[in-house]
Chain A
């Protein structure tokens, strides 16, 4: 009888922990421009390699290179930069507002601004996003008023959700931003279902599901891929891999799979992996994936490789689980600086204009903040009445709820 080894488990560990010096010099990324751009009606079997590479457009010199580089007008580029600057300034102010006690909770996008700001540019009115935590760029790039976002964060009387949601859980039907679920991944199957309805009714609108890499471990992620694959639903399924799910590094959810994008391969869903800190690459991939959906070619899975430079939320301290220097060492750079470098390289921007734009953006954000705070913050000013919380549970208030409202004194 042969002797069997004592059984044991594998526990993936991140490359660096607090106290380590992060060093990515051994990690190689494909050069910008080096990855093929297939036609949108490609057989998914022919692009399996795209699940293991990274589509990049902006090179080290700020040039847009390769088959995924699209001709964007200077105004479109500047709009992209301004959107990202606005989101960053908005985050900075709201993070500070949380520290000042004006709200209890906040989640910033630092380092991930390109993903949602660029993706929004591929959408049309009527399309619907089913977002998760770090896609407020969809709202900002889509022109949703900053004041309304802030009122939601402050849960004041200007909050259209009337204090019924955690800060940053925005919702705007008009701006194609469904709502956010704290029970992760539920939105993924809803996105597929929404897009199925579009197809059943012969409409042209598409849906976009968003999920973080950590939440791909949830059942609904896999079930959504089954449904999208089975019915070839007109949906784009985005996985934002920002490396960290609170303190859980991406390897815990990824397991033995080479990449998160590779999850799509077993479902026969065309899958792309893209540099999430490259505004131009994100936009090009977003256009490719949304075009597939619009042409009734079915779903696309996209993994955005990025880095969550801040904490998960204001409730955690990242230095407890990763080196403080890790975000600076992250090899894909900063999305704002990279698009700025590109604009300068093409002669449509300058350091002076950038400094001026940052100041303008901050003024705009501060003016909006002042306006929101005139209504109120979490603890001051005008707040939603407790009377309101009894509304919208049912379209028509049933007698028991009316009685409970009366008993509560409203």
Chain B
């Protein structure tokens, strides 16, 4: 709402635009913020998220770096220790493994191991997921791994509102926050109020209300789950879609409330099944609301192969709207 009580005008934009607006907004609002990473400046980021920002903000704030994930994440940690609020862009989650030591052994531990003397208010954004025909080393979904690590906050914006608002909240968070932008979402279009602001990063969200079954998922699988739910609505099955939003910490309360309402739950995770985030969510449901369940917790996850290159193989390797719908039908006994 504007000061005069009228609603702000709504803008039509893509998820990519929303992330860019979030970065622009952070740079404008807080002089401690700068963006750093490979090809984020002149090239505008390999997913074109930061296009135009170099011209607008200059090289001190939009910094192209040498190609060393460990170094620009480590330098980001150093800058955060010195009072800045860096946004580090890692081109894709697969590349972030080159910075794993900095992220897991350092950013996540420093506040604790220094007895609370040093905070690491660092935001690391990275692309994740398949769907761009980029083969295994650019297509994996490893956010579930990061969600294993104490000291990190792991966010998976699946909507324009979250793409626009999570960065704000993450930058103000004193802990290191990793934001995973699923590559299938970048072109997603929608509307946002021109004055869209920060969003809460502690709660899961219900993206579609339903009463017969719940799908618990996140990131790029959210639109697929909503599409599957629409399909099933046409078949008389009313599916609720829970978007985790924060993968660490997990918002148990929202998950359990949904399960307690629908009594059937399918956990969908584009990441690999064994030892993945879907296993954690499933275990928590069994631990906390077992007696609410009318059927075993079901899981649909990525098949455990390195993601292949051509589209038909890529599509076959991760959950899709039709496979989610099929799994739901099986769970509710409508085959």
Given A183-B101, A197-B78, CB of A392 within 8 Å of CB of B115: yes
B76 at the A/B interface (Cβ < 8 Å)? yes
Q: How many A-B residue pairs have CB under 8 A?
A: 148
Residue of B nearest to A164 (CB): B113
B230 at the A/B interface (Cβ < 8 Å)? no
**Which chain B residues (124-162) contact chain A, with CB distance < 8 Å?**
150-151, 153
Shortest A160–chain B CB gap in Å is 5
Total interface residues on A, using CB and 8 Å?
A: 49
**Which chain B residues (84-134) contact chain A, with CB distance < 8 Å?**
84, 101-102, 105-106, 110-119
Taking CB atoms, residues of chain B closer than 8 Å to A195 are 78
**Contact at A171–B84, with CB atoms within 8 Å?**
no
Q: Bound state CA distance, A308 and B325, in angstroms?
A: 66
Shortest B147–chain A CB gap in Å is 12
**Which chain A residues (184-205) contact chain B, with CB distance < 8 Å?**
186, 188-198, 200-201, 205
Q: Bound state CA distance, A191 and B102, in angstroms?
A: 13
**Contact at A186–B105, with CB atoms within 8 Å?**
yes
Taking CB atoms, residues of chain B closer than 8 Å to A161 are 113-115
B60 at the A/B interface (Cβ < 8 Å)? yes
Q: Pick from B66, B153, B173 the residue with the most CB of A within 10 Å.
A: B66
Q: Given B74, B77, B84, B115, which contacts A200 in the complex, CB threshold below 8 Å? A: B84
Taking CB atoms, residues of chain B closer than 8 Å to A192 are 71, 74-75, 78
**Contact at B83–A197, with CB atoms within 8 Å?**
yes
**Contact at A393–B112, with CB atoms within 8 Å?**
yes
**Contact at B118–A178, with CB atoms within 8 Å?**
yes
Taking CB atoms, residues of chain B closer than 8 Å to A391 are 112, 116
A165 at the A/B interface (Cβ < 8 Å)? yes
Given A171-B115, A179-B110, A179-B114, CB of A227 within 8 Å of CB of B75: yes
A6 at the A/B interface (Cβ < 8 Å)? no
A399 at the A/B interface (Cβ < 8 Å)? yes
Shortest A406–chain B CB gap in Å is 15
Q: Bound state CA distance, A160 and B113, in angstroms?
A: 10
**Contact at A196–B113, with CB atoms within 8 Å?**
no
Q: Given A162, A226, A399, which contacts B68 in the complex, CB threshold below 8 Å? A: A226
**Contact at A193–B78, with CB atoms within 8 Å?**
yes
The interface stretch among A85-93, A217-225, A243-251, A375-383 is A217-225
Shortest B6–chain A CB gap in Å is 35
Q: Given B80, B83, B112, which contacts A201 in the complex, CB threshold below 8 Å? A: B83
Residue of A nearest to B116 (CB): A392
B293 at the A/B interface (Cβ < 8 Å)? no
B44 at the A/B interface (Cβ < 8 Å)? no
A328 at the A/B interface (Cβ < 8 Å)? no
Taking CB atoms, residues of chain A closer than 8 Å to B60 are 200
Q: Bound state CA distance, A189 and B106, in angstroms?
A: 12
Taking CB atoms, residues of chain A closer than 8 Å to B110 are 179
Taking CB atoms, residues of chain B closer than 8 Å to A200 are 34, 60, 79, 84
Q: Which residues of A contact B (CB under 8 A)?
A: 128, 130, 159-162, 164-165, 169, 171-173, 178-179, 181-183, 186, 188-198, 200-201, 205, 207, 219-220, 223-224, 226-227, 230, 391-395, 398-401
Q: List 30 A-B contacts (CB under 8 A).
A: A128-B81, A162-B115, A164-B113, A165-B113, A171-B113, A172-B117, A173-B118, A179-B110, A186-B70, A186-B74, A186-B106, A189-B74, A190-B81, A190-B102, A192-B74, A193-B77, A194-B81, A196-B78, A197-B78, A201-B84, A219-B68, A220-B74, A224-B71, A224-B74, A226-B66, A227-B68, A227-B75, A394-B111, A394-B153, A399-B252
Q: Which residues of B contact A (CB under 8 A)?
A: 32, 34, 60, 65-66, 68, 70-72, 74-84, 101-102, 105-106, 110-119, 150-151, 153, 173-175, 202, 249-250, 252
Q: Apart from A190-B78, A393-B150, A394-B153, what are 20 other A-B pairs with CB-CB below 8 Å?
A: A128-B81, A162-B115, A171-B114, A183-B106, A189-B70, A190-B74, A192-B78, A193-B75, A196-B79, A197-B83, A197-B84, A200-B84, A201-B83, A207-B78, A223-B74, A227-B66, A227-B71, A392-B112, A398-B249, A400-B250
10 closest A-B pairs by beta carbon, nearest first, are: A193-B78, A193-B75, A189-B74, A223-B71, A194-B78, A190-B78, A197-B79, A197-B82, A161-B115, A395-B174
